[in-house]
Amino acid sequence: MATDVADLRDFYTEPLGLVARRRILAQVAGLWGELPGDKVAGLGYATPYIRPYIDSAERVFALMPSRQGVVNWPPHGPSASALVEEYDLPLTDGAVERLLIAHCLEHADFPAEVLKEAGRVLAPGGRLIVIAPNRRGLWARSDNSPFGHGRPFSRSQLSALLRQTGFSPANWREALYVPPYNRFGLLRMSGAFEKLGAITPIMFGGVLIVEAQKQFMSSKPVRARERVSSTVRALAPQTQAAPARRDSF
């Protein structure tokens, strides 16, 4: 079951969420830097990580799955958020140059379909960042944060899923080596944990962060709604109209 959008919003105002945002955002910035003139979209609850691009990108908007709910975003100015079905995004083909997925893939019933739809809306050569709970990390084993809910991934699982859906994984990062507990001063030492985790092979980050590039496909992808519709028509029983009653008027 997906985490409610109100709970996600509240998490990122708490000490644990503030640390998570800062550490993950540092990795995202290292992968993307500034994006002047690009159209940037976030899918899931990605607003903590696409917010810095509002001032530099051509356009930034947040797509929030219906099972999760939607909140008005950003808090000030015109709204740039929308309630969507993650398998059928309300965007034209090749509409954005950058797409960031967070708090989405681990809750999807069909994660491959989410990534195929992501590939459809990305421009040729577009870049995707996926943030997902790390199966080996401590955060996936604790329900203190949203990263402890849903299906966690290993690096090999996420890599195979991306390649299967037309993406080429290019850069891998991990974040949140600090244990997910606001006690014993652990959060104040999060910077030290991140530096130690980056050089210590026996430590695993709480989240995987992967940047992937859309591959050029020779055939046009079939949208999720088209696949579902054709399946329903094929399986629907054929019925005959009932004969009209003689006393009908």
Give the Cα separation of 75 and 90 in Å (integer): 22
The more confident residue out of 248 and 141 is: 141
Q: pLDDT value at position 226?
A: 54
* pLDDT tens track for 122-151: 999 899 999 999 999 999 999 999 999 999
Could you read off the pLDDT of 87-125 as tens digits, one per residue? Answer: 999 999 999 999 999 999 999 999 999 999 999 999 998
The residue that leads in pLDDT, 23 or 224, is 23
Helices (H), the chain: 5-11, 15-32, 47-50, 111-121, 155-164, 190-199, 224-235
pLDDT surpasses 50 at 43? yes
Percent of the chain surpassing pLDDT 90: 72
At 175, the amino acid letter reads A
| Per-residue pLDDT tens over the stretch 170-221 | 999 999 999 998 877 788 888 898 988 888 877 899 999 999 999 865 444 4
| Inter-residue contact 109 to 136 (CB < 8 Å) | no
Q: Identify the pLDDT of residue 243.
A: 46
Burial of 7-43, coded b for 16+ CB within 10 Å and e otherwise, reads ebbebeeeebbebbbebbbebbeebbeebeebbbbbb
pLDDT of the residue at 45: 98
Distance between start and end Cα atoms, the chain: 51
Secondary structure class of 42 (helix, strand, coil): strand
150 secondary structure, DSSP code:
S
Predicted local distance difference test score (pLDDT) of residue 1: 65
**Domains detected in the chain:** 5-235 (3.40.50.150)
| 221-241 mean pLDDT | 47
- Which candidate, 107, 113, 130, 85, places its Cα nearest to that of 223? 113
Distance between alpha carbon 190 and the CA centroid of its chain, in Å? 24
Compute the average pLDDT of residues 47-75.
95
Q: Is it the case that residue 244 has pLDDT exceeding 80? A: no
Backbone φ and ψ for 209, nearest 5 degrees, come out as: -125, 115
At residue 239, does pLDDT exceed 70? no
Answer yes or no: are the C-beta atoms of 170 and 144 closer than 8 Å.
no
